Amino acid sequence: MEAIKFIKERDRMCRTYDDCKGCPLEVGDDCTDFPNGSPERAAEIVEHWSKTHKGKTRQSEFLKLYPDAKLNEEGVMIILPCQIDKKFFKGCENCIYEDADGGCERAYWSEEIDND
């Protein structure tokens, strides 16, 4: 797991547990020493947690409302961002996802959203 992703996922994991109770990184009263004492193990724990606790994405929330929405062969919604989001109505040349790996649909629908 790359460093930036590790930090983001560890932060997301920390926000999930109230007062660290039940957190997989909790050691004693605090987890702040654990990653420094064994960074490899901390990375393994965070990576496993991340894989088993997927964050909310635009697609996951949309599919709760429309479970039969059409997906492509890779499991990504086929609705273009410019078809539903007014920020992208100006066309592909102004789209922040234009050069996204896997296309604008994958980038847009897989983006995590706030848990609020």
Measured CA to CA, the distance from residue 37 to residue 31 in angstroms comes to 10
Measured CA angle at 25 (ends 20, 28), to 5 deg: 70
The pLDDT tens digits for 65-107 are 999 999 999 899 988 888 888 777 666 666 676 666 667 888 8
The pLDDT tens digits for 54-73 are 888 999 999 999 999 999 99
pTM, entire model: 0.57
Tokens of 45: 């724990």
Backbone angles phi and psi of 34, in degrees to 5:
-60, -50
Residue 57 β-bridge partners: 112
**For the chain, which residues make up each domain, given as ranges?**
3-52, 58-110
